Amino acid sequence: MTDKEYMDFALSLAEKTIGQTSPNPSVGAVVVKDGRILGIGSHLKAGEAHAEVHALAQAGEEAEGADIYVTLEPCSHHGKTPPCADLIIKHKLKKVIIACLDPNPVVAGNGVEKLRQAGIDVEIGVREARALELNRKFFHYIHSKRPYVTLKAAVTLDGKTATSTGDSKWITSDQARVDVHQQRAIHDAILVGVETVIKDNPHLTTRLPQGGKNPIRVILDTQLRIQKEANVLKDGHPTWIFCSENADGTQIKEKYPNLTIFQLPGNYLNINDVLDILGEKSIQSLYVEGGSKVHQSFIQQQLVNECHWYIAPKILGGTDAISVVGGSSPLLMKDATSLDIVSTEMLGPDIKIIARPRKV
């Protein structure tokens, strides 16, 4: 196998753990000597062993003189676990092949430096694009200290998310909804506006046959209008509400211990402030499920990293039906938000489009 093929194998090991390692990145490692694979590993959970630890434990003494393919620069710091660079040096590996550097300031090139100083060959950049894509949420978080924002919408062919009466059950098929629950499971938090809570009384939990972690629920509710018996309050899972400092949350807070209230200064909620606070609370990925006003705020302020659009083969028609993105349109087409389509996929009768705002 070539270097690229071994790295692809390491990347595929890492990709299988997407969503279960937060706040750590997904990492895979493969130890190879004389064309034989001696050890493989993935980082499985924050606080537990890194990918290299598993792979090297399998290789044991045979690791001496071997190469290791790692999807991220081996760490050099004492975090919750000891440095992988030290472990690689201890096992006397010959060469370390790395897909991409770790931007985490406590590592950021120090891992490579440590290895080179110990006389180990290091090659960087094999399958880099795939590795950057794999951990794009982690990298975005490290660079911006804010969560990576994915905007999700289920729409008709004519871009509507509800009828004029607000009915939206259901636009897309079961297959599309399963995909949404898979996305909920791999995000740290899910965000909606209070209008959605009042209208739909959703649970915003992950409901998959195979299980899956629930994201923290974040509700934007300036005036604290949430109904006292809302499912997101009653079901015991963590819910964070952002409201204005003028709202009084004492009673509701006492009633629901799973509820955290963040009161922001001023009379309206600034989404930039919300993202800053979520970042401080280690939320690296945020799944925004609307409604249309919330979508508009995120789009207008250019706070979206990725759009997931589930398009059902239905047409509602009517200027009174609710558009997926609210507010007023710009006057000119040249002022539209431009995106690049990353992928398209059929989910039963529906299409899923993933698109990312075009970088200018």
Interface with ligand AOF (CB under 6 A): 24-25, 27, 43, 50-52, 72, 74-75, 79-81, 84, 102, 104, 107
Based on the shown chain and the rule CB under 5 A, indicate whether residue 120 belongs to the binding site for Zn ion. no
Of the candidate spans 78-86, 117-125, 199-207, 264-272, the one that interacts with Zn ion by CB under 5 A turns out to be 78-86
Nearer to Zn ion, 76 or 172 (CB): 76
Provide the pairing of β-strand 216-220 with 239-244. Answer: parallel
Nearer to ligand AOF, 109 or 266 (CB): 109
Nearer to Zn ion, 24 or 196 (CB): 24
**337 class by beta-carbon count within 10 Å (0-12 exposed, 13-18 middle, 19+ buried):** middle
Which one of ligand AOF, Zn ion, none is in contact with 27 (Cβ closer than 5 to 8 A by kind)? ligand AOF
Nearer to ligand AOF, 102 or 350 (CB): 102
Cβ–Cβ < 8 Å for 105, 92: no
**124 class by beta-carbon count within 10 Å (0-12 exposed, 13-18 middle, 19+ buried):** middle
d(CA 28, CA 39): 11
Minimum CB separation of residue 67 from ligand AOF in Å reads 16
Binding residues for NADP(+): 154, 170, 196, 200, 222, 291-297
Write down the H helix ranges in the chain: 3-15, 51-59, 84-90, 110-117, 128-134, 136-144, 174-186, 194-200, 231-234, 250-255, 271-280, 292-300
Based on the shown chain and the rule CB under 5 A, indicate whether residue 27 belongs to the binding site for Zn ion. no
Is there a catalytic annotation at residue 52? yes
Residue with CB nearest ligand AOF? 79
Minimum CB separation of residue 147 from Zn ion in Å reads 23
Question: Where do we find the tokens 């009174």?
Answer: 320
Of the candidate spans 11-19, 83-91, 141-149, 335-343, the one that interacts with Zn ion by CB under 5 A turns out to be 83-91
Which one of Zn ion, ligand AOF, none is in contact with 120 (Cβ closer than 5 to 8 A by kind)? none
Based on the shown chain and the rule CB under 5 A, indicate whether residue 84 belongs to the binding site for Zn ion. yes
CB 212: neighbour CB atoms within 10 A? 17
- Helices H, strands E: what count in the chain? 12, 16
Given the residues 48, 52, 73, 345, the one annotated as active site: 52
Q: Which two tokens stand for residue 146?
A: 């804010």
Q: Which two tokens stand for residue 356?
A: 């990312």
If we measure between CA atoms, which residue out of 323, 324, 359 comes closest to residue 342?
A: 359
Binding residues for Zn(2+): 50, 75, 84
Minimum CB separation of residue 43 from ligand AOF in Å reads 3
| Of positions 33, 50, 114, 127, contacts Zn ion by CB under 5 A | 50
Sign of CA dihedral 125, 130, 134, 140: positive
Which one of ligand AOF, Zn ion, none is in contact with 127 (Cβ closer than 5 to 8 A by kind)? none
Nearer to Zn ion, 25 or 291 (CB): 25
Residues near Zn ion, by CB under 5 A = 50, 75, 84
- Residues with catalytic function: 52
